[in-house]
């Protein structure tokens, strides 16, 4: 087994990432915090569960479509 030096590993990683098309790269995310009425939260949670997606995905999709 060949052990690479850190600089070689970093270069190898950079080359690997450069070969991915832009849309396949993981999107950088940040955490947001906001308050919802309890009933609104329950409705959002149920809606997301029925769709099989996360609440974050529902909110992110709405923001992309409306902001």
For 23-59, write each residue's pLDDT tens digit. 667 788 999 999 999 999 999 999 999 999 999 999 9
Asked if residue 31 belongs to a domain, the reply is no
| Residue 8, domain member (yes or no) | no
Residue 15 domain-assigned (yes or no): no
In a domain, 45, yes or no: yes
Domain count, the chain: 1
Q: How far is CA 43 from the centre of its chain?
A: 23
Instruction: Count how many residues are written for the chain.
Output: 67
Its pTM surpasses 0.75: no
Tell me, yes or no, whether 40 lies in a domain.
Answer: yes
List the domain range (segments joined by +) for residue 41: 36-67
Residue 42 in domain? yes
Q: Give me the residue label for tokens 């993981």.
A: 26
Q: What is the torsion angle, in degrees rounded to the nearest 10, for the CA atoms of residue 7, residue 9, residue 13 and residue 15?
A: 70
- Would residue 46 count as lying in a domain? yes
């Amino acid at each position: 087994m060949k052990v690479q030096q850190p600089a070689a590993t970093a270069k190898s990683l950079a080359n690997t990432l450069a070969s991915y098309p832009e849309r396949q790269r993981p999107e950088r995310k940040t955490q947001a915090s906001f308050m919802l009425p309890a009933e609104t939260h329950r409705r959002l949670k149920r809606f997301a569960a029925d769709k099989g997606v996360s609440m974050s995905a529902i909110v992110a999709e709405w923001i992309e479509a409306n902001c």
